[in-house]
Amino acid sequence: MPLLILSKVKDGLDPSMKKKAFAFLEKLQEDDTLPGLHIEPIQGSVDSRVRTGRVDDNYRCVLFKIVGQDDPVYVIHGVWPHDKANKIAESVHLSMNPINGVPEITSVVSSVKAAAAKPAVETEPSSDVPVETAPTVPAPSVVPEAESAPSWPAGLTADVLHTELGIDEQLASAAMAVTTEGDLLSLIETVDVEWQAQMLLDLATGTPVDEARSKMGLDQKVDVGDGTEDEKLIRSLKHPAAQASFHWIDDDEELRRIVEAGDLVAWRLFLHPEQRKYADGAYKGAFRLSGGAGTGKTVVALHRTWRLAQENPKARVLLTTYTRNLAEDLAQGLRQLDESITLQNSLDSAGVHVKGVDQTVRAVLQAAGSGLDEATAKVLGDSRTVLGTPTSGELWKEAIDNADADLPADLLTSAFMSAEYGLIVLPNRITTSTGYVRVRRTGRGAALDRAKRLEVWKVITEYRMLARANDTTDWQEKAEIAAAWLESNKRTFFDHVVVDEAQDLNLSQLRFLRAVVAEGRDDLFICEDSHQRIYGQKVVLSHVGIQIRGRARRLTLNYRTTAQNLDWAMHILAGGDFTDLEGESEKHPYHSARSGPVPRLLPTASMSKELDQAAELIRTWLPSGDGESDRAPKPEAIAVLVRDKYRRQSVVSGLAERGLQVRSVDQENAKPGMPLVMTMHRAKGLEFTHVLLFGVHEGSVPHGLKDYKASDEDFVDAMLRERSLLYVASTRARDVLAVSWFGAMSTLLGAW
Ligand X SMILES: Nc1ncnc2c1ncn2[C@@H]1O[C@H](COP(=O)(O)OP(=O)(O)OP(=O)(O)O)[C@@H](O)[C@H]1O
Per-residue binding string, ligand X, 664-703, x by CB under 6 A, is: ---------------------x-x----------------
CA distances from residue 555 to 268, 272, 591, 674 in whole angstroms, order as listed? 17, 10, 10, 34
Choose, by CB under 6 A, the member of 270, 421, 568, 742 that binds ligand X: 270
Of the candidates 12, 103, 291, 695, which one interacts with ligand X according to CB under 6 A?
291
Long-range contacts of 47-51 (CB under 8 A, 24+ apart): 47/92, 47/93, 47/94, 47/95, 49/94, 49/230, 50/89, 50/90, 50/92, 51/89
Q: With contact defined as beta carbons under 8 Å apart, do 586 and 570 qualify?
A: no
Spatial contact of 677 and 639, defined as CB atoms under 8 Å apart: yes
Smaller CB distance to ligand X: residue 327 or 363? 327
Cβ proximity of 528 and 540 under 8 Å: no
Distance CA 622, CA 671 (A): 16
297 assigned ligand-binding residue: yes
Three-class DSSP category at 6: strand
When asked if residue 273 is in the footprint of ligand X (CB under 6 A), the reply is no
Instruction: Choose, by CB under 6 A, the member of 235, 272, 355, 514 that binds ligand X.
Output: 272
Q: At what angle do helices 450-470 and 395-403 cross, to 10 degrees?
A: 120
Task: Give the 3-state secondary structure of 253-308.
Answer: HHHHHHHHHCCCCHHHHCCCHHHHHHHHCCCCCCEEEEECCCCCHHHHHHHHHHHH
Comparing CB distances to ligand X, the nearer of 291 and 675 is 291
Q: Using alpha carbons, list the distances in angstroms from residue 286 to 264, 282, 611.
A: 33, 10, 48
336 binds ligand X (CB under 6 A): no
Stretch that binds ligand X, among 177-185, 288-296, 345-353, 451-459 (CB under 6 A): 288-296
Q: Which of 267, 322, 457, 708 binds ligand X (CB under 6 A)?
A: 267
Distance CA(47)–CA(482), nearest Å, equals 63
- Choices 152-160, 192-200, 270-278, 596-604; region in contact with ligand X by CB under 6 A: 270-278
Whose Cβ is closer to ligand X: residue 270's or residue 493's? 270
Pairing of strands 50-54, 59-66: antiparallel
Sign of CA dihedral 698, 703, 706, 712: negative
Kindly tell me which of 232 and 303 has the beta carbon lying closer to ligand X.
303
Q: Which of 97, 190, 200, 120 is nearest to 158 (CA)?
A: 200
Q: Which stretch binds ligand X (CB under 6 A): 265-273, 422-430, 452-460, 506-514?
A: 265-273
Residue 44 assigned to a binding site: no
Nearer of residues 65 and 272 to ligand X, judged by Cβ:
272
Task: Give CA torsion, residues 487, 288, 340, 668, to 10 deg.
Answer: 80
Q: Which stretch binds ligand X (CB under 6 A): 109-117, 253-261, 262-270, 389-397?
A: 262-270
Helix (H, G, I), strand (E, B) or coil at 326: helix
Phi-psi region of 21 (alpha: psi -120 to 50; beta: other; left: phi over 0): alpha
Residues 111, 275, 323, 724: which binds ligand X (CB under 6 A)? 275
431 known ligand binder = no
Q: 198 or 360: whose CB is closer to ligand X?
A: 198
Closest approach, Cβ 189 to ligand X, in A, equals: 16
Residue among 272 and 648 whose Cβ is closer to ligand X: 272
Query: Which of 119, 150, 273, 294 forms a contact with ligand X (CB under 6 A)?
Result: 294
Residue 699: name the closest of 607, 616, 576 by CA: 607
Residue 266 is a binding residue for ligand X (CB under 6 A): yes
Cα–Cα dist 447/464, whole Å:
23
Give DSSP secondary structure letters for 466-532: HHHHHTEE-HHHHHHHHHHHHHHHT---BSEEEESSGGG--HHHHHHHHHHB-SSTT-EEEEE-GGG
101 binding ligand X? (CB under 6 A): no
Q: CB of residue 560 vs ligand X: minimum separation in angstroms?
A: 4
DSSP state of 664: E
Q: Smaller CB distance to ligand X: residue 297 or 538?
A: 297
CB of 729 to ligand X, least distance (A): 11
Binding ligand X by CB under 6 A: which of 78, 101, 150, 296?
296
Shortest Å distance, C-beta 334 to ligand X: 13
In a 3-state reduction of DSSP, which class is residue 353?
A: strand
Residue ranges in 503-562 that form contacts with ligand X under rule CB under 6 A: 529, 532, 559-560
**Measured from the CB of residue 265, what is the shortest distance to ligand X in angstroms?**
7
Of the residues 271, 423, 601, 640, which one makes contact with ligand X according to CB under 6 A: 271
Q: Which of 213, 304 has the CB closer to ligand X? A: 304
Least distance (Å) between residue 735 CB and ligand X = 12
Strand pairing class (552-555; 472-473): unpaired
Asked if residue 589 binds ligand X (CB under 6 A), the reply is: no
- Return the number of the residue (271 or 680) whose C-beta is nearest ligand X: 271
Q: What is the CA radius of gyration of the chain?
A: 28
In angstroms, give the least distance from the CB of 153 to ligand X. Answer: 25
> What are the two backbone dihedrals, phi and then psi, of residue 602, each rounded to the nearest 5 degrees?
-125, 85
CB 108 within 8 A of CB 91: yes
Please tell me whether 295 is known to bind a ligand: yes
Comparison of 215 and 232: residue with beta carbon closer to ligand X: 215
Contact flag: residue 49 with ligand X (CB under 6 A): no
What length does the chain have? 752
- Characterize 405-419 residue by residue with b for buried, 16 or more Cβ atoms within 10 angstroms of its Cβ, and e for exposed: bebeebbbbbbbbbb
* Residue 59 binds to ligand X (criterion: CB under 6 A): no
Stretch that binds ligand X, among 233-241, 264-272, 661-669, 738-746 (CB under 6 A): 264-272
Applying CB under 6 A, the site for ligand X has a residue count of 21
Q: CB of 267: closest distance to ligand X in angstroms? A: 4
Bridging pattern class, strands 688-693 and 663-664: unpaired
Which window, 267-275, 381-389, 513-521, 620-628, contacts ligand X (CB under 6 A)? 267-275
| Shortest Cβ 99–ligand X spacing (Å) | 24
CA–CA separation, 59 vs 14, rounded Å? 10
235 binds ligand X (CB under 6 A): no
Q: Cβ contacts of residue 247 below 8 Å, gap of 6+?
A: 5, 6, 7, 8, 269, 270
- Nearest residue (CB) to ligand X, 467 versus 637: 637
Could you tell me the smallest distance in angstroms from the CB atom of residue 289 to ligand X?
A: 9
Least distance from C-beta 426 to ligand X, angstroms? Answer: 27
The least distance separating ligand X from the CB of residue 561, rounded to whole angstroms, comes to 8
Select 77 or 272, whichever has its Cβ closest to ligand X: 272
Query: Considering beta carbons, is residue 613 or 731 the nearer one to ligand X?
Result: 731
Do 614 and 640 meet the contact criterion of CB atoms below 8 Å apart? yes
DSSP 223-255: ---SS-HHHHHHHHTTSGGGGGTEEEE-SHHHH
Which residue's CB is nearer to ligand X, number 267 or number 493?
267
Residue 291 annotated as binding site: yes
**Residue 262 annotated in ligand binding:** no
- Contact call for residue 26 and ligand X (CB under 6 A): no
What x/- string results for residues 714 through 743 when contact with ligand X is judged by CB under 6 A? -----------------x------------
Task: Work out whether 203 is an interface residue with ligand X (CB under 6 A).
Answer: no
In angstroms, give the least distance from the CB of 728 to ligand X: 7
What is the C-alpha to C-alpha distance for residues 33 and 54, in angstroms, rounded to an integer?
Answer: 13
Enumerate binding residues for ligand X (CB under 6 A): 266-267, 270-272, 275, 291, 293-299, 529, 532, 559-560, 685, 687, 731
Binding residues: 291-298
Binding residues for ATP: 291-298
